[in-house]
């Protein structure tokens, strides 16, 4: 049986969360690692926007957004129970993820790459991003994970971006008063599914043998 094809880039947080959800679902895909400065024609034909992740299903359907890929994978199979089990839990999880993508991510980009946005530095955006992180810390003071007692879809969707923020200035991040957030992030970075997600693959070229993710 042919497998879905996932175009990915190892360090992209959007691609990371898609890979984690696919891994958690117990499904397998053909993974095509992309070099962003030299995007393969096959990726651009499938998705002219040219960003990753992109999932191409065997029937030709293309899923272009990371959250949609996560939902697709977990709706096929969710053995670890990552999807919320109640309407209220789902609404709360979606609200956090939408804040991450719509509010936090722009501040993260400007904090990490101020020169790209013609900023003298990213300090103001760091402060704005930290406000969202304190919201997460508040949730994590009351429960081990963002969705409750177990790791879930919202944790996987948000953690790669928090990781990127934390690694921009690790000394500053570690000095902040958000111990619950630090514990959550450390747990994420030490997890087996993170290690599987961050496996290194050679960039794909047409004609290469299929590479399967997760590996059998």
Could you tell me which residues come within 8 angstroms of residue 198 by beta carbon, excluding any fewer than 6 positions away?
10, 16
Give long-range contacts, CB 8 A cutoff, 24+ apart: 103-108: 103/132, 104/129, 104/132, 104/133, 104/161, 104/165, 105/161, 107/132, 108/161, 108/164, 108/165, 108/168
Secondary structure class of 29 (helix, strand, coil):
strand
Instruction: Name the least confident of 83-87, 124-128, 185-189.
Output: 83-87
Q: What is the pLDDT of residue 200?
A: 96
Q: What is the pLDDT of residues 95-115, one digit of tens each?
A: 999 999 999 999 999 999 999
How large a percentage of the chain has pLDDT more than 70? 100
Q: What is the DSSP string of 66-117?
A: HHHHHHHHHHH--TT--S-SSHHHHHHHHHHHHHIIIIIHHHHHHHH-GGGG
* pTM, 2 dp: 0.96
Nearest 5°: phi and psi at 150?
Answer: -130, 155
Q: What is the average per-residue pLDDT within 133-141?
A: 98
Secondary structure class of 53 (helix, strand, coil):
coil
Q: What is the average per-residue pLDDT within 173-178?
A: 97
Q: What is the pLDDT of residue 163?
A: 98
**Averaged pLDDT of the chain:** 96
Q: What is the pLDDT of residue 3?
A: 96
Structure tokens of 139? 């949730």
Q: What is the pLDDT of residue 209?
A: 95
Domain ranges for the chain: 5-81+195-213, 87-150+152-190
Nearest to 152, CA basis, from 99, 110, 193: 193
Q: What is the average per-residue pLDDT within 70-79?
A: 97
Q: What is the average per-residue pLDDT within 83-87?
A: 91
CATH of the domain spanning 87-150+152-190: 1.20.1050.10
Q: What is the pLDDT of residue 91?
A: 95
Q: What is the pLDDT of residue 149?
A: 94
CATH superfamily placement of domain 5-81+195-213: Glutaredoxin (3.40.30.10)
Residue 1 pLDDT more than 60? Answer: no
Q: How confident is the model at residue 21 (pLDDT cuts 50, 70, 90)?
A: very high
């Amino acid at each position: 049986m042919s497998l879905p094809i996932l175009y990915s880039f190892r360090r992209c947080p959007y691609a990371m969360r898609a890979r984690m959800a696919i891994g958690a679902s117990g499904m397998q895909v053909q993974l095509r690692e992309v070099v962003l400065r030299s995007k393969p024609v096959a990726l651009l034909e499938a998705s002219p926007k040219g960003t990753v992740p992109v999932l191409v299903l065997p029937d030709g359907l293309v899923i272009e957004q990371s959250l949609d890929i996560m939902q697709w994978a977990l709706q096929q199979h969710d053995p670890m129970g990552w999807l919320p089990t109640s309407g209220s839990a789902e609404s709360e999880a979606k609200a956090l993820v939408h804040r991450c993508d719509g509010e936090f991510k722009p501040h993260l980009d400007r904090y990490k790459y101020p020169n790209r946005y013609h900023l003298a530095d990213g300090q103001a955006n760091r402060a704005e991003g930290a406000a969202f992180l304190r919201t997460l810390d508040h949730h994590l003071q009351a429960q081990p994970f963002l969705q409750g007692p177990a790791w879930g879809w919202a944790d996987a969707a948000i953690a790669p971006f928090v990781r990127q923020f934390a690694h921009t200035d690790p000394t500053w991040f570690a000095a902040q008063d958000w111990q619950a957030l630090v514990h959550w992030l450390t747990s994420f970075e030490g997890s087996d599914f993170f290690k599987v997600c961050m496996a290194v693959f050679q960039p794909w070229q047409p004609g290469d043998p299929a590479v399967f993710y997760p590996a059998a």
